[in-house]
């Protein structure tokens, strides 16, 4: 990885799993790292690991099952740093467990995996654009399923896998839309499936035997966040280190328009959000 001295990165969900490793690697490469999570003790450990390697880091706490917390996190980032060169939306929850809802009453996987990152990204866009060239990376999944707009919150026949896969397709569609709106700004937006069933607590909670390592997933995420070979590449979906095709609905402009309108409504970003997507 190239030297990242002078650059600042925010990695959501970076107190555990692949996010933790990504944060450590960015710090080792010279970036100032904003570590995010819910647990201050675990956050302090990651900050200490980065500092022990000669890097600079600070911890920002936020529970992304609340949109108010996502707003607070955006404010904390803006107060903490004067630039943001890399935003990695990595925080998420998996398929295990019964149906749960967010602080606002939204289905939890849709809220945490998608809506929180949608809101956080749009609120941080002015800072990111002022730091261009900059990169936004959305950590999605190969597990994608078309969104049922008649039951987005999966109130009927709940399945954790269905809810998860809807949220991950939403991330891909957001990536494509935001990339289009940011053309010419020097900010690129990409997304990826980092690796299949990494050895993480999320995978283990789902009762699945890990098939890949967090090191493999981190390498794929860091490739999109830092590789000089991908400079200027935007609106793309990757499977690991290779560009790939997402679920077909991701490329349907009408479906993306419906998701965008719903997302702006649910996050209360109708005015600011429309401006962010306005070419």
Which of the residues are catalytic? 164
What torsion, rounded to 10 degrees, do the Cα atoms 122, 49, 219, 226 define? 50
Spatial distance between the Cα atoms of 258 and 247, rounded to a whole number of angstroms: 16
End-to-end CA distance of the chain: 33
Rounded alpha-carbon distances, angstroms, from residue 229 to 1, 222, 226, 239, 272: 11, 12, 9, 16, 33
Please return the burial class of 255, using the count of CB atoms within 10 Å of its CB with bins 0-12, 13-18 and 19+.
Answer: middle
Tokens in use for 126? 């002015």
The owner of tokens 């400079």 is: 231
Residue 44's CB is within 10 A of a number of other CB atoms, namely 14
263: left (phi over 0), alpha (psi -120 to 50) or beta: alpha
Spatial distance between the Cα atoms of 223 and 164, rounded to a whole number of angstroms: 24
Contact indicator for 261, 273 with CB cutoff of 8 Å: no
Please return the burial class of 67, using the count of CB atoms within 10 Å of its CB with bins 0-12, 13-18 and 19+.
Answer: buried
């Amino acid at each position: 990885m190239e030297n990242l001295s002078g650059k600042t990165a925010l990695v959501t969900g970076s107190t555990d799993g692949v996010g933790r490793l990504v944060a450590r690697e960015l710090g080792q490469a010279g970036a100032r790292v904003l570590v995010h999570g819910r647990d201050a003790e675990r956050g302090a450990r990651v900050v200490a690991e980065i500092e022990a390697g000669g890097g600079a880091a600070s911890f920002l706490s936020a529970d992304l099952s609340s949109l108010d917390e996502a707003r607070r996190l955006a404010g904390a980032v803006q107060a903490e740093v004067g630039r943001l060169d890399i935003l990695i939306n990595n925080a998420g929850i998996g398929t295990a467990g019964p149906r749960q809802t967010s602080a606002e009453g939204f289905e939890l996987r849709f809220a945490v995996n998608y809506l929180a990152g949608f809101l956080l990204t749009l609120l941080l866009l002015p800072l990111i654009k002022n730091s261009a060239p900059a990169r936004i990376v959305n950590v999605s999944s190969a597990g994608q399923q078309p969104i049922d707009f008649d039951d987005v919150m999966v109130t009927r026949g709940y399945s954790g896998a269905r809810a998860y896969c809807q949220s991950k397709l939403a991330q891909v569609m957001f990536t494509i839309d935001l990339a289009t709106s940011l053309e010419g700004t020097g900010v690129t937006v990409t997304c990826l499936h980092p690796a299949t069933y990494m050895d993480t607590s999320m995978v283990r909670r789902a009762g699945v035997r890990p098939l890949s390592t967090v090191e493999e997933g981190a390498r794929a995420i860091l490739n999109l966040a830092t590789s000089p070979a991908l400079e200027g590449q935007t609106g793309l979906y990757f499977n690991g280190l290779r560009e790939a095709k997402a679920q077909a609905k991701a490329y349907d402009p009408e479906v993306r328009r419906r998701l965008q309108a719903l997302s702006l409504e649910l996050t209360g970003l109708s005015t600011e959000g429309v401006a962010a997507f306005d070419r």
